[in-house]
């Protein structure tokens, strides 16, 4: 206060030079400091030259203006055991330029980590960290196209789904309840009934209770397997890829003749839901020449085995297991092993801009279990046609990449763009809701019921 | 051939000057010729200065690339008794710059004339006639976002819905049948199952038979009153305004105190469908001070009476009649008489970009028939609030204007933009259809069944 009072006595010229000097030193400080930031995620960093320079994004030029709730720490980075350092203003969000990014737990946790990458990109848009600036955080809800709910629900399932006595419900359940209470109290929720809210629930069991309260929102999901149509559907919601578990196959020159295995599958044969086709296919294919069935999960040593196996195969089999989707499809894509998807109704990410028939072979379940059908189909695909699909896989794989900093048209940006394409239908729903907002005899305020 | 052979011997310089001279004279010729074209639709021409100059539109810059079938004359301008003149290349479409636009029948026919205005704008985009170039005709279907079916179905209903013996069906019915046969034979239809086809059926009885065959398409309709949800719905289709029957109220300075009538209604009291609320409201309101109920249609002398009545009223009542929608709403809007819409489920044009609660009052039917509810609601609206809505009406009325040449953000452009916003969901449907296009045991080619 005292400093600002004395500053107000200075002449405009002095002010101008002070400001210029301050900006000059601040920019150098940021530059040096960001270079020294821990490169937590270097493995997923690619060519940074294509990313916008580290200036704050201009909301007026954004494809999507996003208002993000300042949810308490326990809903997001607190779940990573992250604690704010000095200079992390407010103590709620990491300062990406000064301190780098908090680390997300590894292993299979990562496959549903979209919550982390989307939140980081949104923070970057405001902090002047690198981002393509498609989605930009705004502080005024009235300027926003959508409202982002930064609850790391997948991590909450993975870490806190067990009931620990004396508690009678899991911490994941308790967090969901507190989230519903939080949202019910927000004017933004009350205004739209949640229709413009983006809620992340990529883990099939994420938001297990809350989904039935938050249904008007835009969910970002891996599939609709465990959702009734009224709660989630392709018109309203967004399907996002899994983060792949095998490594990228950079500079892949392993073409048709360098891949000795015709068809590769790794996974459990017996699954609790919907996996009966796996068994049937196993018995149909196990004695075929150049077909490789390998059992066990991709976790642990399985990753190396899968990486080698997929890179040595022309085609990789994807069959519905516990859930309609799995990270196996995205492992196949980054291994440039042409996916054979056995499914009648699978949801595929970004299918409004991607024609999967150009790089996948999709076969109905009923066809796949016909004797000879699948193997004849695969053998009927010429080297020329396979090579076209292989090249297409190398072209599209970037759309399935999660990374920080996010790059043009990677998975993070593809998700933002998909949400942006939903904005007109979100606006339509909200405008219809507003029709009666003032002139109704019995006003019903649609808020998530507290459980 | 001979001329071109001799021309090829000329020097490049001579060529350059010849070309420049030719272009100079051609441009003057076009300028004079277009100025001399019959000004058929001058009444609907507004300020042409805001329209793009008369050069052909660039498809690469278009919001929507449109492939239009060269349907036989009987489906479109033939229904206007238009015959091609000399120079109307191919004899199928009018040459707008040389011969102006064919005239559409007047009177109530005009209210559903969207087919005419959209087709004219598409022709303009290719012929270099004035247009904002949002939708641009392309000749290569592979470049197109959507396929436009230029059947003037509203005019077909209005002119040919009677059965004339010895024929056993109406000419409208026969035209629909021939359209289905035409579409079934097109590779564009077969490729998408019609999902990217834009079909115009603004008259509630238009396409009465064909709608059940063409359901995968994008319909442009006035409402969904006579359509089952599976055939037409707000996710898939486009609601377009009626062309208003009363004249525009240019330079309207008739504010709150210049409009003595509080509430105005013109229309039949008894309607065959859904009109019971009209009677109830009539008995509720007929003795209220400053409320005017006037009977009879807007056609004939009614137009002048309506024009005067609406311009002298603060609020204009819109109640569902035969159909959920009517031109009365758009008459109210261009008269800047704040519409009171009594409806639970009316479909409003362009509601994904327009918040109707800013310039309309929408009341549920059950509320409207409560004694005193409506009149108290209207009386409770302050002069200040009414004036805000009146000003908003003057701002939005341009979105409900059909005209040639089309202007930025008029009804024609708003329809194109609405269709453009549907393109991602159309692409999603087509990509899903393609999933199995090659690898299915029993291919089912979805074509409109011939009736």
Distance from CA of B21 to the nearest CA of A (A): 44
- Residues in chain B within 8 Å Cβ distance of A354: 431
Q: What is the mean pLDDT of residues B33-58?
A: 45
- pLDDT band at residue B302 using 50, 70 and 90 as cut-offs: confident
Of the candidates B362, B428, B436, which has its C-beta nearest A362's C-beta?
B436
Q: Look at B357 and A235 and tell me if their CB atoms are within 8 Å.
A: no
Mean pLDDT computed over every residue of chain A = 85
- Residues in chain A within 8 Å Cβ distance of B356: 431, 435
- Residues in chain B within 8 Å Cβ distance of A436: 362-364
* Inter-residue contact B232 to B202 (CB < 8 Å): no
Q: Look at A352 and B427 and tell me if their CB atoms are within 8 Å.
A: yes
Q: Look at A367 and B439 and tell me if their CB atoms are within 8 Å.
A: yes
**Is A142 within 8 Å of chain B by CB?**
no
Q: Look at residue B144 and tell me whether its pLDDT is greater than 80.
A: yes
pLDDT digits (tens, 9 = 90+) for A129-167: 999 999 999 999 999 999 999 999 999 999 999 999 999
Cα dihedral value B325, A217, A450, A185, nearest 10: -90
Report the pLDDT value the prediction gives residue B446, as an integer from 0 to 100.
54
**Is B421 within 8 Å of chain A by CB?**
yes
Residue A416 to residue A407: CA distance in whole angstroms = 12
* Inter-residue contact B226 to B211 (CB < 8 Å): no
Domains and CATH numbers, chain B: 57-243+403-434 (no CATH), 256-400 (3.40.50.2000)
Report the pLDDT value the prediction gives residue A108, as an integer from 0 to 100.
84
pLDDT digits (tens, 9 = 90+) for B378-389: 999 999 999 999
Report the pLDDT value the prediction gives residue A45, as an integer from 0 to 100.
38
Q: Average the pLDDT over each of A241-255, A314-328, B28-42, B347-361 and give the range with the smallest value.
A: B28-42
The more confidently predicted of residues B322 and A257 is: A257
Report the pLDDT value the prediction gives residue B208, as an integer from 0 to 100.
95
- Residues in chain B within 8 Å Cβ distance of A435: 356-357, 362
Q: Give the number of other CB atoms < 10 A from CB of residue B87.
A: 9
**Is A289 within 8 Å of chain B by CB?**
no
Q: Average the pLDDT over each of A37-41, B198-202, B204-208 and give the range with the smallest value.
A: A37-41
Q: Which two tokens stand for residue A360?
A: 């996948």
Report the pLDDT value the prediction gives residue A447, as an integer from 0 to 100.
58
Q: Look at A355 and B431 and tell me if their CB atoms are within 8 Å.
A: yes
- pLDDT band at residue B94 using 50, 70 and 90 as cut-offs: very high
Q: Look at residue A29 and tell me whether its pLDDT is greater than 70.
A: no
Of the candidates B356, B373, B439, which has its C-beta nearest A362's C-beta?
B439
**Is A354 within 8 Å of chain B by CB?**
yes
pLDDT digits (tens, 9 = 90+) for A190-199: 999 999 999 9
Of the candidates A352, A357, A362, which has its C-beta nearest B428's C-beta?
A352
- Residues in chain B within 8 Å Cβ distance of A370: 441
Q: What is the mean pLDDT of residues B143-161?
A: 97
Q: Look at residue B439 and tell me whether its pLDDT is greater than 70.
A: no
N-terminal to C-terminal alpha carbon distance within chain B: 48
- Residues in chain B within 8 Å Cβ distance of A439: 361-363, 367, 377
Of the candidates B355, B421, B434, which has its C-beta nearest A424's C-beta?
B421
Report the pLDDT value the prediction gives residue B450, as an integer from 0 to 100.
52
The more confidently predicted of residues A5 and B63 is: B63
Residue A83 to residue A311: CA distance in whole angstroms = 40
* Inter-residue contact B335 to B312 (CB < 8 Å): no
Q: Cβ-count burial of B202 within 10 angstroms (0-12 exposed, 13-18 middle, 19+ buried)? A: buried
Report the pLDDT value the prediction gives residue A28, as an integer from 0 to 100.
35
Q: Look at residue B15 and tell me whether its pLDDT is greater than 70.
A: no
Q: What is the mean pLDDT of residues B159-169?
A: 93
**Is B77 within 8 Å of chain A by CB?**
no
Report helix, strand and coil shares of chain B as percent, to nearest 5: 45, 10, 45
**Is A440 within 8 Å of chain B by CB?**
yes
**Is A7 within 8 Å of chain B by CB?**
no
**Is B229 within 8 Å of chain A by CB?**
no
Residue A420 to residue A409: CA distance in whole angstroms = 14
pLDDT digits (tens, 9 = 90+) for B356-367: 999 999 999 999
**Is B431 within 8 Å of chain A by CB?**
yes
The more confidently predicted of residues B153 and B294 is: B153
Report the pLDDT value the prediction gives residue B137, as an integer from 0 to 100.
98
User: pLDDT over 90 for what percent of chain A?
Assistant: 69
Q: Average the pLDDT over each of A63-67, A219-223, B115-119, B165-169 and give the range with the smallest value.
A: B165-169
Report the pLDDT value the prediction gives residue A21, as an integer from 0 to 100.
42
- Residues in chain A within 8 Å Cβ distance of B431: 351-352, 354-357
Report the pLDDT value the prediction gives residue B99, as an integer from 0 to 100.
86
pLDDT digits (tens, 9 = 90+) for A54-96: 579 999 999 999 999 999 999 999 999 998 876 666 689 999 9
Q: Give the number of other CB atoms < 10 A from CB of residue B271.
A: 17
Q: Look at B440 and A364 and tell me if their CB atoms are within 8 Å.
A: yes
Residue B342 to residue B329: CA distance in whole angstroms = 11
Distance from CA of B344 to the nearest CA of A (A): 9
The structure's pTM equals 0.85
- pLDDT band at residue B283 using 50, 70 and 90 as cut-offs: confident
**Is B142 within 8 Å of chain A by CB?**
no
- Residues in chain B within 8 Å Cβ distance of A367: 439-441
Report the pLDDT value the prediction gives residue B295, as an integer from 0 to 100.
72
- pLDDT band at residue B397 using 50, 70 and 90 as cut-offs: very high
Q: Look at A364 and B234 and tell me if their CB atoms are within 8 Å.
A: no
- Residues in chain B within 8 Å Cβ distance of A377: 439
- Selected residue of B142, B431, B442 to mutate for chain A interface (largest A Cβ count, 10 A): B431
Nearest CA in chain A to B345: A432
Of the candidates B362, B437, B441, which has its C-beta nearest A367's C-beta?
B441
Identify the residue whose tokens are 């919550």. A115
pLDDT digits (tens, 9 = 90+) for A108-120: 889 999 999 999 9
The dihedral sign for the CA sequence A306, A308, A309, A314: positive
Q: What is the mean pLDDT of residues B36-58?
A: 47
Q: Look at residue B219 and tell me whether its pLDDT is greater than 70.
A: yes
Q: Look at residue B184 and tell me whether its pLDDT is greater than 70.
A: yes
Q: Average the pLDDT over each of A270-279, A322-331, A363-372, B364-373 and give the range with the smallest value.
A: A270-279
Of the candidates B235, B355, B427, which has its C-beta nearest A235's C-beta?
B235
């Amino acid at each position: 206060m005292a400093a600002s009072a004395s500053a107000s006595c200075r002449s405009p010229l002095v002010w101008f030079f002070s400001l210029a000097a301050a900006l000059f030193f601040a920019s150098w400080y940021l530059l040096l400091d960001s270079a020294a930031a821990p490169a937590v995620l270097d493995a997923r960093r690619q060519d940074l030259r294509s990313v916008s320079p580290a200036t704050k994004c201009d909301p007026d030029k954004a494809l999507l203006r996003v208002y993000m709730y300042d949810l308490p720490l326990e809903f997001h980075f607190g779940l990573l055991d992250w604690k704010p350092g000095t200079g992390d203003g407010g103590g709620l969000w990491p300062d990406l330029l000064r301190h780098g990014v908090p680390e997300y737990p590894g292993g299979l946790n990562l496959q549903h980590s979209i919550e982390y990458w989307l939140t980081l990109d949104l923070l970057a848009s405001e902090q002047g960290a690198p981002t393509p600036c498609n989605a930009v955080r705004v502080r005024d809800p009235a300027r926003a196209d959508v409202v982002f709910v930064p609850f790391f629900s997948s991590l909450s399932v993975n870490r806190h789904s067990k009931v620990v006595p004396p508690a009678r419900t899991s911490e994941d359940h308790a967090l969901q309840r507190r989230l519903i209470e939080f949202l019910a109290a927000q004017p933004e929720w009350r205004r739209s009934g949640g229709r413009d809210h983006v809620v992340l629930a990529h883990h099939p069991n994420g938001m297990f209770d809350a989904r039935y309260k938050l249904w008007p929102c835009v969910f970002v999901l891996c599939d609709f397997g465990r959702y009734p149509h009224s709660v989630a559907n392709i018109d309203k919601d967004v399907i996002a890829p899994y983060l792949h578990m095998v490594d990228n196959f950079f500079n892949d020159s392993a073409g048709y003749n360098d891949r000795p295995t015709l068809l590769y599958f790794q996974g459990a044969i017996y699954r609790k839901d919907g996996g009966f086709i796996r068994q049937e296919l196993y018995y149909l294919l196990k004695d075929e020449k150049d077909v490789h069935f390998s059992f066990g999960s991709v976790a642990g040593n399985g990753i190396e085995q899968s990486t080698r196996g997929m890179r040595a195969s022309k085609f990789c089999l994807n069959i519905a297991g516990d859930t309609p989707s799995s990270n196996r499809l995205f492992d196949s894509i980054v291994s440039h092993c042409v996916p054979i998807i056995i499914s009648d109704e699978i949801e595929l990410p970004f299918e409004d801009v991607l024609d999967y028939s150009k790089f996948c072979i999709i076969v109905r379940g009923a066809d796949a279990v016909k004797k000879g059908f699948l193997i004849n189909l695969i053998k009927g695909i010429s080297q020329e046609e396979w090579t076209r699909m292989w090249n297409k896989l190398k072209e599209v794989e970037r759309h399935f990449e999660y990374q920080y900093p996010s790059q043009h048209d990677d998975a993070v940006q593809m998700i933002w763009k998909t949400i942006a394409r939903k904005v007109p239908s979100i606006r339509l729903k909200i405008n219809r809701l507003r029709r009666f907002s003032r002139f109704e005899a019995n006003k019903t305020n649609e808020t998530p019921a507290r459980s």
